[in-house]
Structures are given as C-alpha cells and as structure tokens.
Amino acid sequence: MLDSMVHDKCGIFGIFGHAKAAELTFLGLYALQHRGQESAGIVTSDNGLIRLHKGMGLVSEVFAKEEVLARLSGRIAIGHTRYSTTGASSLINIQPFLITNRSRYLAVVHNGNLTNSLGLRTALDAKGSIFQTTSDTEIILHLAAKSRKRTRVERICDALKRVRGAYSLLFLTENAIVAARDPYGFRPLALGKYYKSWVVASESCAFDLIGARYIRDIEPGEVLEISAAGLKSLHPFKKTKPTCCIFEYIYFSRPDSIVFGENVDKVRRRLGRLLAREYPVAADIVIGIPDSANTATLGFSEESGIPFEIGLIRNHYVGRTFIDPQQQIRDLDVKVKFNPVKGVLKGRRVVVVDDSIVRGTTSKKLVKLIREAGAKEVHFRVSSPPIISPCFFGIDMPTKSELIASYMSVDEIEKYLEVDSLRYLSLEGMLSMPSLPDTSFCASCFSGKYPIRIPPINGKDRLEIKSPGKIRS
C-alpha cells in the first residue's frame, strides 16, 4: 500500500505464568510493531502488586532503558502498541488503562473500535462518570465497574454485552488474564503456549519471536479466563455470524502470521495468483510495491509465468513523520521512500502489483517515477477490489470523499494514474481465497455494506472535548 493513510489500530500481547512476563511481552509487542507505532505500554501483576509503564513512541523507545523492564516484575503481563482510531494520539490515551474498583485492580488493552461509544459515553457522563481519556476503551472499564454482577469476569461480560463494534481485548487482574473477542470477530486474537505459560497475541508472529507455539484462535464471541486454575472458556453473547476483517489478509497482518486460523502468506499468494488469472497481461517483468505487496506479487508471477523482479527499492529508515525539507523538489515524499531500479525497468513492459489503492495520489507519483526510469509500458494490478467506503471497525482510513474509488470509475482511475491498464481483483474472487467460507468475512470497505449499524457521528475525534479548555498532553 502506497498511501500512508490506512493504519491498523493496535497490537496486543499477554502472558500468564512466567517469571520474565514483562520481557516476553516486550518482545511480543516488538513483533507486533507494524500494528501501531504511536505509543506502547505494559502492565504486570506480581502477586497482586501492579506495575505499569507506558509512553509515546516505538516499543523499543518506550522500553529503551533496561531498568524499566526490570521494574515490571511479576508472572502476569499484558501490553499494547497503539495506532489511534478513537481519541487523539496523546499521553492520556496510551494503553494499558489501569483502574481500581472495589479495592481491586483492573487493566485493559484493546485492538478495535466501538461503534456505539459516543452514545454510551454521553449516557455515562450524564450520570456523573469521570473520564480520564478520550478513548472508547475506557468506556468498557466504566461499564464493568458499574456492573452488579458478582465476579470480575461476569462484570466484564456484562460490560461487553453493552458495547458494539470491534474488540479484541486483554484484561489483567491481580491473578488472571481475561481475553475477549467480539461476536463478529473483526480483529484477530490468537492463543499460544510458551513452555507452561499461556500467551495471547493479535498475531502469531509474536509467538514465533519468543519461541511460543500457536494453539488456536480466541473464537468470535469467546471470553477466555486464564488463571492458575487453567483455561475457562465462556460464550456469553448472542450467537452472531462472524465477519472477520478480510483486510488483515490483504495488507495489515504480517505474512508470517497465522490469522483467522490460516497462514497469511498462503492467502496473500492466492490473491496474487487469482489476480493473474482474472486479468492476464503480456509483460516482461512483474514488480511489487514493497513490502506489503511482495507476497501477492510472487503469486502473480508464479501464475502468469512473468518473471518477478525487484524494481523498486524501499528506504526502511524513513521516519514516521517525514518532513519535506525542500518542498520545491517535486514528488520528494515518494522519492524518499522508493527508488526505481533503472537497470530493471528500462525498456521493459512492467506489471506493478499493489495490495490496494486508497487515495491514489502516491500511486500516481510512483507510476511517474517508474516511467521516468524507462519502463515501456506500465500495467497496474491490485490484489483487492476498489476501496469505496471507510472502516469503522478498528482501521483508520480517510473519509469516503478522499477514497479515489468512491468518486472515480476504474477507467477514470486508470487515466488519472496514467497507466496502460489498471485492473482490480473481483470482490467474489477475493472472498473465495481464504479457506474459511466467503460469508465469514467483513468486506464493508469494498462493498459499502456494513454488518452493524454505523451511527452518523463516527469520526476518530468523536470523544474529544470540543471546548476551549481542551487538555494537551
């Protein structure tokens, strides 16, 4: 994906029953860094003594000092790496959130986005609830604290019955972890084993780094309590048809992860293969937009027989907030990220594979660079259908009016990009590539049809205080 305008919300990781719980959580978050780069945090329980550290920046920056991790003692830990989809990117919104209620601790980390957060927060606010953050996740803690149920797991379930939307959650108590996934199963959450300890993570690549074994997914609608007594699985919600996010396979998850029970690399390759079958083209080489489209490009190459080449070199050291020091240099933002390999492209008929097109502005600049490098023809192939609607389930996307496919036809985009041909994978084709049935997936950003009602006020800043007294942190 070329436009840096689509971001996953977060990565979460938890471990129960290991003396090095904080260190292993740090490594797990490190593997999940691609899911959020704004802030990170870890909370631990050392026989009921709770310790928390969080800060703005990459996982390696927040936990740069050895003594920070050493201070996080205990055999139970949960951690979070954040990209915001509700609430500003600021200190107050860094997770884990930690509260005390009825003289007990409760901490939470969240990957997802609640669609009814504004209504719930307004109602809680009117009844005197005091909010510390502008994140939707805090609402879950308020609802759990207000529940009249007897046990904490019951109170968590009670709270979750009132929220709508996407959530993969980890709660930490003094002596347990509670993992929960919304009934639709929008975002992934996997269970693994590390020697005698249980681990939970957004993606299984976090298990690989520490040497843990993938066991299974936390099921949509499952609440799993992990304690010294072992695993206790509950299904407290009304059964719903799962709608897992198909975009996890297309772009968000790492290709080395198992997501929704299947290896991402395998699905991504199949998407590329199908793209080559649906829209064949006569060409000399096929190149991918690094790194996210590499796997689909390999699939395209295998199926079409067109040789795979490295035609673009990506600079991996471009900061998250690259500031163009010389605005007068045209297309510098793209040039600083990608450099075309002239020796590969010159005089060739080139197929360029990308996983998706969001606004199209960066794709246009890159096509120009490829042409300037001497490509004779440029054929653009996209391993997903046109994105026509934003996501409200934990992916930060531009508004509908900024999505190029929401206001241009494929022919118009082809002309805008100035390519010899542009083709997108079909919706039916995309949904048929994972092993799960095609009805198991959310494809709302491609179809415009949402599985749950989206309230009219749904922006990322919907919970921000709209007054002159806004807190800056």
The contact set with ligand SF4 (CB under 6 A) reads 186, 245-247, 391, 393, 395, 442-445
Identify whether 157 is a catalytic site residue.
no
Beta carbons within 8 Å of 110's beta carbon, 6+ residues apart: 10, 12, 80, 95, 135, 136, 137, 140, 167, 168, 169
Q: Which two tokens stand for residue 469?
A: 């007294």
Q: Is there a contact between 223 and 153 (Cβ–Cβ < 8 Å)?
A: yes
- We find the least distance from the C-beta atom of residue 188 to ligand SF4, in angstroms, to be 11
- We find the least distance from the C-beta atom of residue 185 to ligand SF4, in angstroms, to be 10
- We find the least distance from the C-beta atom of residue 293 to ligand SF4, in angstroms, to be 17
Q: Is there a contact between 76 and 87 (Cβ–Cβ < 8 Å)?
A: no
Beta strands in 239-328 (DSSP E): 244-245, 258-259, 262-263, 285-288, 312-314
CA atoms of 44 and 73, how far apart (whole Å): 7
Q: Which of 57, 37, 179 is nearest to 68 (CA)?
A: 57
- We find the least distance from the C-beta atom of residue 109 to ligand SF4, in angstroms, to be 19
Beta strands in 195-249 (DSSP E): 197-201, 213-217, 223-227, 230-234, 244-245
Between 188 and 288, name the residue whose CB sits nearer to ligand SF4. Answer: 188
List alpha helices for 129-251, DSSP H. Answer: 137-146, 152-160, 205-210, 247
User: Which single residue brings its beta carbon nearest to ligand SF4?
Assistant: 391
Q: Which two tokens stand for residue 223?
A: 């609440």
DSSP state of 27: H
Between 192 and 434, name the residue whose CB sits nearer to ligand SF4. Answer: 434
Q: Which two tokens stand for residue 284?
A: 């000399």
Residue 124 burial class via C-beta count within 10 angstroms: exposed 0-12, middle 13-18, buried 19 and up: middle
Between 88 and 442, name the residue whose CB sits nearer to ligand SF4. Answer: 442
Q: Which two tokens stand for residue 77?
A: 């830990």
- We find the least distance from the C-beta atom of residue 172 to ligand SF4, in angstroms, to be 26
Beta carbons within 8 Å of 285's beta carbon, 6+ residues apart: 306, 307, 308, 309, 311, 344, 345, 348, 349, 350, 351
Q: Which two tokens stand for residue 185?
A: 């199963």
Q: Is there a contact between 460 and 391 (Cβ–Cβ < 8 Å)?
A: no
Q: How many CB atoms lie within 10 A of CB 393?
A: 27
Between 194 and 247, name the residue whose CB sits nearer to ligand SF4. Answer: 247
Beta carbons within 8 Å of 122's beta carbon, 6+ residues apart: none
Angle at the Cα of 36 from the Cα atoms of 34 and 38, rounded to 5 degrees: 130
- We find the least distance from the C-beta atom of residue 1 to ligand SF4, in angstroms, to be 12
Between 159 and 443, name the residue whose CB sits nearer to ligand SF4. Answer: 443
- We find the least distance from the C-beta atom of residue 80 to ligand SF4, in angstroms, to be 19
The catalytically annotated residue of 10, 205, 245, 391 is 10
DSSP state of 73: -
Q: Which two tokens stand for residue 273?
A: 């293969």
Between 109 and 246, name the residue whose CB sits nearer to ligand SF4. Answer: 246
Between 340 and 385, name the residue whose CB sits nearer to ligand SF4. Answer: 385
- We find the least distance from the C-beta atom of residue 243 to ligand SF4, in angstroms, to be 7
CA atoms of 73 and 91, how far apart (whole Å): 23
Between 176 and 245, name the residue whose CB sits nearer to ligand SF4. Answer: 245
- We find the least distance from the C-beta atom of residue 87 to ligand SF4, in angstroms, to be 18
Between 246 and 281, name the residue whose CB sits nearer to ligand SF4. Answer: 246
3-state class (DSSP) for residue 227: strand
Q: Give the residue numbers marked as catalytic.
A: 10
